Structure 1
Amino acid sequence: MDIISIIAPMILVFFGYTIGSTRIITGGNEALVERLGKYNRKLEPGLNFIVPLVEKIAIEKTTREQILDIAPQPAITKDNISVEVDAVIYWRVFDWVKAYYEVEDVEDAIGNLVITTLRSAIGRQELDETYSSRSEINKTLLEELDKATDDWGVKVLRVEVQEIKLPDSIMESLEKERAAESEKQAAIFKAEGEKQASISRAEGTVQAIEMIAQALKGQSNSKEVLKYLVAQRFVDANQKLGESNNTKIIFMNPKDVSEGVGELLEEDTHISDERIGNGSN
């Protein structure tokens, strides 16, 4: 028998065995080897060898940081208000032996745990607190999730609550409340402005009357002229007040006003005469 025909099959078997036993693990990954159906060892990144037919690679997974985005989930706050909340979880597997053999689907298990823990954390807060203490909620979630996932060979690195959304009905109520508050403030500012304007007009009227009284002092018909001017200003003021829809109007008798001013004018004239008499003495 030709020796080549004997060696050639042996060489083919050797190369086939070598190729079949060679495994290259990508950087950042980790592989688990099973021998006869049982876990045997881990394979690190680089060139590795296994025993064909006896050993097999069960999984090859990444050990790098991963992101799990949780879709909006319904939750109820401590003050019994329904909200929708979503979050993002940053995690990585530090031990794929635990992650693969201790739990059926590690990512699905983490997702379910996050939802349960998130609802529980929101349920311990009132609505206002969920907005003001977002960082505290993140911290609480991180501590609880990291502790719970340690047995799975998982390290939770960060937790970020993205959005806490109120139902549309509550949002509409809040918008109406804000609009009503804005209208209330606008009405207060308007009323305050009208009040200041009225005070300014009143002060101007008083100053005008004083100036007119000084100008008319010494004239024989000064009282009659002053009474007429005061009555005319009173009528004009009442007419302007009557044009306002938001003003409560109290009408006074212009005759009483003008007579009162006349009396003040007489008193002022009398005081002036006394000062002149005392000066002459």
Structure 2
Amino acid sequence: MESILSILAPMILVVIGYSIGSTKIITQGNQALVERLGKFHKKLEPGLNYIIPFIDRVAVEDTIREQVLDIPAQQAITKDNISVEVDAVVFWKVQDLMKAYYNVEDVERAIEELVTTTLRSTIGELELDQTYSSRRDINQNLLEQLNEAATDWGVKVIRVEVQELKPPADVLESLAKARAAETQKQAEIFKAQGTVESIEMLSRALLEQPNSKAVLQYLIAQRYVDANQKLGESPNSKVVFMDPKALSEAITDLIGAGDSPIDGFANGSSIRPHDQ
């Protein structure tokens, strides 16, 4: 009896060892590649799989789920010769594990190098202002070029997002000053247009009034009173004495006789004081 057990025991151990060595469990979301005598044999799907010990070996087991690759900041030169610092994030997944393992040495490293090269090339075709307004176009262009190149790697790039485009500090300062100057210029243009429109409206209103000279005289006097009031409110104000008679004569001289100044403005010419 003991002799039989001594014979069967090693055989039982061999069977147990063979059974353990021939089973391979692949977790959900993963795939594995099996090589037989050094050559690709089959692909293992999630669940319980069987291989031949010592003849078959699992060459690689990897995820086929979506992955995220953060591309470090890179230096790129725009079309108008401005250096910018740009980084991106890539969302990708393995579609064919056999190609990803056998066609490229390091698929993740290959994607990173491809993104860097494509990103620099894309930025180089745009001027600095275009890089800000064309962010979506840059992402789409990167996605198309990456998928075209990564097909042979068994990889699909799902989306690419450029996270930051950062020019040098002195360029940012110059852009800020240029924008401020443009804003000021537009404000002055709008103000001038508003003044012209106001004068045109006043001119038309005066032409419709039978006592236009009296109305104009009243408006000028009102502006004079307002100006003197503001002058009096100023901490650096000075007292100015003016002869009322001289003021009246000045206003009368400014208005002039007849309606020619108003008529002239309405016809497109400017209002000019009478020749001395």
The alignment's TM-score, normalised by the length of structure 2, stands at: 0.70
The answer to whether 1:42 aligns with 2:43 is: yes
Partner secondary structure for residue 64 of structure 1 = coil
How far residue 61 of structure 1 moved from its aligned partner, in angstroms, is 0.2
Amino acid at match of 1:129: Q
Superposed CA RMSD in Å reads: 3.8
Cα 1:7–1:141 shift into 2, 3 Å: same
Deviations 1:116-152 (A, max 9, x none): 0111111112222222222222221111110101111
Counterpart for residue 120 of structure 2: 119
CA distance in structure 2 between the aligned counterparts of 1:167 and 1:209, rounded to whole angstroms: 57
Partner secondary structure for residue 176 of structure 2 = helix
Partner secondary structure for residue 2 of structure 1 = helix
CA distance in structure 1 between the aligned counterparts of 2:60 and 2:190, rounded to whole angstroms: 71
Counterpart for residue 174 of structure 2: 173
Partner secondary structure for residue 151 of structure 1 = helix
The alignment's TM-score, normalised by the length of structure 1, stands at: 0.69
Amino acid at match of 1:7: L
Number of residue pairs matched by the alignment: 233
CA distance in structure 2 between the aligned counterparts of 1:260 and 1:71, rounded to whole angstroms: 76
Deviations 1:236-278 (A, max 9, x none): 77x859969xxxxxxxx869637859x96xxxxxxxxxxxxxx
Partner secondary structure for residue 91 of structure 1 = strand
The answer to whether 1:66 aligns with 2:84 is: no
How far residue 182 of structure 1 moved from its aligned partner, in angstroms, is 4.7
How far residue 79 of structure 1 moved from its aligned partner, in angstroms, is 1.7
Amino acid at match of 2:89: V
CA distance in structure 2 between the aligned counterparts of 1:147 and 1:192, rounded to whole angstroms: 54
Counterpart for residue 16 of structure 1: 17
8 Å Cα contact 2:100-2:155 kept in structure 1: yes
CA distance in structure 2 between the aligned counterparts of 1:182 and 1:164, rounded to whole angstroms: 24
CA distance in structure 2 between the aligned counterparts of 1:51 and 1:258, rounded to whole angstroms: 114
Partner secondary structure for residue 49 of structure 2 = strand
Amino acid at match of 1:257: A
Larger Cα-atom Rg: 1
The percentage of counterpart residues that share the same residue type is 58
Amino acid at match of 1:165: K
Deviations 1:84-115 (A, max 9, x none): 22222111111111111111100000100010
CA distance in structure 1 between the aligned counterparts of 2:215 and 2:15, rounded to whole angstroms: 121
CA distance in structure 2 between the aligned counterparts of 1:188 and 1:173, rounded to whole angstroms: 23
Contiguous gaps of at least 5 residues in structure 2: 207-212, 235-245, 258-276
Structure with greater helix share of residues? 1
Note the 1:72-221 alignment, pairs <5 A: 72-183=73-184, 207=214
